[in-house]
Amino acid sequence: MREEFSAPRTKEERIEHLIHEYVDGALNRRHLIRRLARLAGGAAAAATVLETAGLAQVRPPANVDAIRVGENDPAIEWRDVSFPGQAGQVQGLLASPRPFQPSTRGRRAGVAGPHPAVLVIHENRGLTEHIRDVTRRMAKEGFVALGIDLLSRQGGSKAFADDTARGTAYGRTVQTERHEDMVSAVDYLKKHENVVADRIGAIGFCAGGGNIYYSVYNGLSLQAAVPFYGTPPNPLPAAERLTTPLLGIFSENDRGQAARIPSLSESLVTARVTFGIHVYKGTNHAFFNDTGNVYDSAAAVEAWARTIGFLDTHLRAPRA
């Protein structure tokens, strides 16, 4: 079986790959249509592909200045980091709420730690600026956030010139190795002086959501996880190692993934974990990505609030 996001071989796989690059923002619409026309057999066939994928309409540009968290935001601090992995150093971006500091007026600004932590897992294009921004957003919500770079074994995301090159590099990665690097990231967070070691969650998008499903079914113990439009393993592994509360976010028009919801739900019931599944009506895969071509601001804002509420419940609530 071809692993998801590996190099496409058939015409159908190449078309699916192009669609995925488009919704993630790696291709503009003009380039997408031109390449689809070559693959599908003309402009009319390309239009049919777009309509079938729910992408016939062109969306206006999104205004996302109010939700992005800039590098100089005074509420957070961040730095690029590396930490030991099973095959060398793993790279990432570490962002945290700014600690208490004396102010010029004699008061102290910032937030006292330690804090719960969240591992942020990127799509199949590496640690992009969008995922770095999401990592900073998570820090502004009061978590220590680690955006892991799953291209670290190939030199890191910054070693590649563009999204296409990073996507090709991700296609060379192996699921078991990505799992190992995620385990190393959680170990790094557990040992961090500003992290509550038993309050660690994860959020992942697209391929990152799929990596969450794989890892929690294969023994990675987290206190909460939110996979956005991630593909669960097929078939799903036995559920006896799954202990992590999950909130699965899906898009209505991502029909292949939505079709997996019944089997996923049955498995989560068997595992007896707390879980929620939410399907956002009228949205496409990657609707949360504000740099992509199918960003849905209303759904993205609501999904973010739902995500933070879920993480707060499981990572901050007092324990009996």
Q: Where in the chain is the domain with CATH 3.40.50.1820?
A: 76-315
pLDDT for the residue numbered 108 = 43
**Fold for the domain defined by 76-315:** Rossmann fold (3.40.50)
Phi-psi sector, 225: left (phi>0), alpha (psi -120 to 50), beta: beta
Q: How far apart are CA 34 and CA 37, in angstroms?
A: 5
Q: Do 39 and 11 meet the contact criterion of CB atoms below 8 Å apart?
A: yes
pLDDT for the residue numbered 187 = 98
Cα 263–Cα 265–Cα 271 angle in degrees, nearest 5: 105
Q: How far apart are CA 110 and CA 79, in angstroms?
A: 17
Instruction: Tokens 């969650």: give the residue.
Output: 201
* Beta-carbon count within 10 A of 291 CB: 18
pLDDT one-digit tens code per residue, 51-70 = 777 777 766 556 666 789 99
Write out the DSSP string of the chain: -PPTTS---SHHHHHHHHHHHHHTTSS-HHHHHHHHHHHHTSHHHHHHHHHHTT--SPPPPP--TTT---TT-TTEEEEEEEEEETTEEEEEEEEEEPPPEE-TTS-EES--S-EEEEEEE--TT-S-HHHHHHHHHHHHTT-EEEEE-TTGGGT-GGGSSSHHHHHHHHHT--HHHHHHHHHHHHHHHHH-TTEEEEEEEEEEETHHHHHHHHHHHTT---SEEEEESPPPPSSPPPGGG----EEEEEETT-HHHHTTHHHHHHHHHHHT--EEEEEETT--TTTT-TTSSS--HHHHHHHHHHHHHHHHHHHTSPP-
Q: Before 114, cis peptide (omega within 30)?
A: yes
Q: Do 124 and 20 meet the contact criterion of CB atoms below 8 Å apart?
A: yes
pLDDT for the residue numbered 288 = 96
Q: First vs last Cα of the chain: how many Å apart?
A: 45
Q: How far apart are CA 319 and CA 262, in angstroms?
A: 31
Assigned token pair, 116: 């719960």
Q: Measuring CA to CA, which residue among 275, 250, 270 is closest to residue 261?
A: 250
pLDDT for the residue numbered 66 = 78
pLDDT for the residue numbered 299 = 96
pLDDT for the residue numbered 137 = 98
Report, as ranges of residue numbers, the positions in the chain whose pLDDT lies below 50: 1, 104-108
Phi, then psi, of 303 in degrees rounded to 5: -65, -35
Write out the DSSP string of 175-203: HHHHHHHHHHHHHHHHH-TTEEEEEEEEE
Q: How far apart are CA 69 and CA 66, in angstroms?
A: 8
Amino acid at 296: D
pLDDT for the residue numbered 112 = 80
